[in-house]
Amino acid sequence: MQQAALTAPSTDIIQTDRETVWHHLTQHSQFEHSDPMVIVRGEGMRVTDATGREYLDATSGGVWSVNVGYGRTEIADAVRDQLVTMCYFAGTAGSEPGARFAARLLEKLPGLGRVYYSNSGSEANEKAYKMVRQLAHMEGDGSKSKIIYRDRDYHGTTFGALSSTGQFERKEHYGPFLDGFVSFANCCCYRCPFGKTYGSCDIDCAQDLETVIQREGPETVGAVVLEPITAGGGVIPPVPEYFPIIEAICRKYGVLLHIDEVVCGLGRTGEWFGYQHFKVQPDIVTMAKGVASGYAAISCTVTSESLFQRFKALPADRLGYFRDISTFGGCTAGPTAGLVNIDIIEREDLLANVRQRGAQLMDGLQALKAKYPLVGDVRGVGLFAGLELVQDRESKQPAPEQTAMAIAKDCSDQGVLIGRTNRSFREFNNTLCLSPALIASSRDIDDIIEALDGALMRCG
Ligand code: PMP
């Protein structure tokens, strides 16, 4: 690694960034009176910005990606060696790391049989939708092509993925969207869409899938796509009964179950995949962020062997094969980094660490809830948690967005980076998000809670 180049962060880079880069999710007018943050170095749980300031990163790289932490020379070395041996070949050919990583990944995904490579979460989801639609067209008359998605879930930035997204704040102003995407209810008990209370409800949020399938006509519905735990939509884990009901409805109507593990995949929740907490068998699983912990761009659309065999049975002379490609799905950096990423998670027993540290994080957050009425709800699984902020607990009126911004800023001033959900003026969008790397120590969790405690006290 080029350590020398990295040891002297330069503030010039801030000016260059300000003048040249269009940042994600950013209103740039703010940089008229503040500097953009430019991160120049990372080691373990910590990152350093271009001014030399160090932070404890409770976001895993801003958006839940760097699962095994920063500065893993083992991954960089493996990628370097692979790139000089064979960097890239795309199209119809495979690669050695591609085959090895697929085999390794499938060991973690019982019941699934094939791995299709691309390079972002959005793209992985698009591939899945195309698979569903091609089967609808080639096995039938094309009508069984609708995709049902859930309110509050996010599936990506491209038009198919955005059309299947249930977040107002991501979709507003980008329409028109694609036909054939239909939503059903979210599963947030804190703001139950049916006004009910868990314990005295029939898990109406899951049953709503059946209502929507019946309304649309089961013969028109090809798949349902869900996050195992809604992430950017407010960190919303479902109740234990939820997924078995969803799966039973899918089986009843011949609808494929597609689970989007872009955030939860590869250990974030203390299982390899988020859905594995809920004892369901998906037909399609998509993943991206944690697959190579951000060291390379890779995403996977993993399908059951039976879905793959349905493609094999299509008439090749009538375009009966998956006519899809991803240019950078052929770069070997991704699967190479993915292999070492799995090695690290196993060798360091990080799933156990996530369960332990996740319990500590949740205890700490519950204590903050008991202390500050501003915290309306605390939700999460493993090292993946959200605090929803409210003006008052009775009405559950969302706290103003400025409050969440002030808390995040206060934490950052204390040297701890935390996340928050997307900006909007509606409920759910004032949730603070915590997703430290899977290597977090007990001390790191204490430091995160302490920073939040101070920030809540000052900004509440
Ligand atoms: N699915 C989920 C659940 C996500 O959170 C995201 C990204 N935050 C995506 C898909 C899209 O991934 P990408 O940004 O890599 O396209």
**Spatial distance between the Cα atoms of 212 and 209, rounded to a whole number of angstroms:** 5
335: Cβ contacts below 8 Å, ≥ 6 apart: 95, 97, 98, 100, 101, 102, 117, 298
Closest-CA residue, ligand 1 atom 1, reads: 155
pLDDT tens profile 121-131:
999 999 999 99
| Pair 334, 297: CB distance under 8 Å | yes
pLDDT tens profile 322-341:
999 999 999 999 999 999 99
How far is the centre of ligand 1, averaged over its atoms, from the C-alpha of 120 (Å)?
A: 7
pLDDT of residue 223: 99
Indicate the top mutation candidate among 155, 300, 421 to test ligand 1's pocket, ranked by most ligand atoms within 8 A of CB.
155
Indicate the top mutation candidate among 63, 118, 154, 275 to test ligand 1's pocket, ranked by most ligand atoms within 8 A of CB.
154
pLDDT of residue 4: 40
pLDDT bin (cut points 50, 70, 90) of residue 3 is very low
pLDDT bin (cut points 50, 70, 90) of residue 2 is very low
Q: Which residue segments constitute the domains of the chain, with CATH numbers given?
A: 3-68+349-459 (3.90.1150.10), 75-347 (3.40.640.10)
pLDDT tens profile 265-315:
999 999 999 999 998 999 999 999 999 999 999 999 999 999 999 999 999
154 lines ligand 1 (CB under 6 A): yes
Ligand 1 atom nearest 63 alpha carbon: 8
CB atoms within 10 A of CB 349: 9
pLDDT of residue 315: 95
**Spatial distance between the Cα atoms of 247 and 184, rounded to a whole number of angstroms:** 15
In this predicted structure, the answer to whether residue 44 has a pLDDT above a threshold of 60 is yes
In this predicted structure, the answer to whether residue 93 has a pLDDT above a threshold of 50 is yes
Burial of 208 (0-12, 13-18, 19+ CB in 10 A): buried
Ligand 1 atom nearest 261 alpha carbon: 3
Task: Find the DSSP H helices in 313-371.
Answer: 333-347, 350-371
How far is the centre of ligand 1, averaged over its atoms, from the C-alpha of 156 (Å)?
A: 5
232 lines ligand 1 (CB under 6 A): yes
pLDDT of residue 270: 98
231 lines ligand 1 (CB under 6 A): yes
Indicate the top mutation candidate among 126, 289, 293, 435 to test ligand 1's pocket, ranked by most ligand atoms within 8 A of CB.
289
- CA angle, residues 25, 27, 29, in degrees to nearest 5: 155
**Spatial distance between the Cα atoms of 17 and 19, rounded to a whole number of angstroms:** 5
pLDDT of residue 11: 75
pLDDT bin (cut points 50, 70, 90) of residue 10 is low
| Pair 283, 303: CB distance under 8 Å | yes
pLDDT of residue 5: 44
pLDDT of residue 400: 87
63 lines ligand 1 (CB under 6 A): yes
260 lines ligand 1 (CB under 6 A): yes
227 lines ligand 1 (CB under 6 A): yes
The model's pTM is 0.97
> What single-letter amino acid sits at 76?
A
**Closest listed residue to residue 205, CA positions, set 228, 186, 223:** 186
107: Cβ contacts below 8 Å, ≥ 6 apart: none
Please state, rounded to an integer, the average pLDDT across all residues of the chain.
95
69 lines ligand 1 (CB under 6 A): no
How far is the centre of ligand 1, averaged over its atoms, from the C-alpha of 36 (Å)?
A: 23
Counting residues of the chain whose pLDDT is more than 90, the rounded percentage is 93
In this predicted structure, the answer to whether residue 420 has a pLDDT above a threshold of 50 is yes
Sign of CA dihedral 192, 193, 199, 200: positive
Complex ipTM tops 0.90: yes
In this predicted structure, the answer to whether residue 426 has a pLDDT above a threshold of 70 is no
